[in-house]
Amino acid sequence: MQTIDLSELGLREVNKMLHAQAADTNQTSWTIENAKGSHAIACGLDAPIEVTVKGSTGYYCGGMNQQATIRIDGSAGPGTGENIMSGSIIIEGDASQYLGATGHGGLIVVKGNASSRCGISMKGVNIVVQGNIGHMSAFMGQSGNLVVCGDAGDALGDSCYEARFFVRGSVKSLGADCEKKEMRPEHIEILQGLLDEAGIDANPSDFTRYGSARTLYNFDVDNAGAY
């Protein structure tokens, strides 16, 4: 295991070391100490390495991640996992706003709660939140899955496309063109797989599925007030 003290080396040098790891590296396990809320930790990684960040992080930790597994032993600031392509990010605490924004793939797990705009404009990422999520989550969600083991705030899935939302608790309100959907066997299978991957013990049958009503795909003057 490689241990890095962020307070000694500085962010630029730490990220440079992580970026230097190739796909066949034998330095696969890294620990970053003294994070102290620093921004942009472990951004742009593209190797199958494991990075553990000790402490809470600031903006955009794990942004643009590919292949790497990033674990945050604390809470995470805004934009964590922004534009994630693959790999995984596990947050032991809470996550701030726009978690996983525009994410194209991979998995993000939050052991606590997530704030507003969780999964905004998601494009294939899977996000599993053990607690609650805030308002405007999955706004313009295009594809992927958002799993919420607690409650969801206002305007869930506003203007969504084909992303799927599974909520075990209550939903304060649904956004424009988002509706309750039938929970078919294939959705139970998808949800069970995500819960297993996230290490969360929950019954898929306790969840409700939401998704696009498909009325806003093309402009219609009769729906003008909903845009």
* pLDDT tens digit sequence for 121-145: 999 999 999 999 999 999 999 999 9
Q: What is the 3-state secondary structure (H, E, C) of 68-82?
A: CEEEEECCECCCCCC
Q: Is the pLDDT of residue 65 over 60?
A: yes
Where residue 216 falls among pLDDT bands split at 50, 70, 90? confident
Sketch out the chain's domains with CATH numbers: 2-217 (2.160.20.60)
Q: Which amino acid is at 46?
A: D
Residue 25's pLDDT is 80
3-state secondary structure 33-56: ECCCCCCCCCCCCECCCEEEEECC
Angle at CA of residue 63, ends 178 and 115, nearest 5° = 45
Q: CB under 8 Å to 147, separation ≥6 — which residues?
A: 126, 127, 128, 129, 166, 191, 194, 195, 198, 207
DSSP for 161-174 reads -S-EEEESS-BS-B
- pLDDT tens profile 71-112: 999 999 999 999 999 999 999 999 999 999 999 999 999 999
146-184 pLDDT, tens digit each? 999 999 999 999 999 999 999 999 999 999 999 999 999
Mean local confidence (pLDDT), 1-11: 93
Residue 80 in tokens: 């964590």
pTM of the model: 0.94
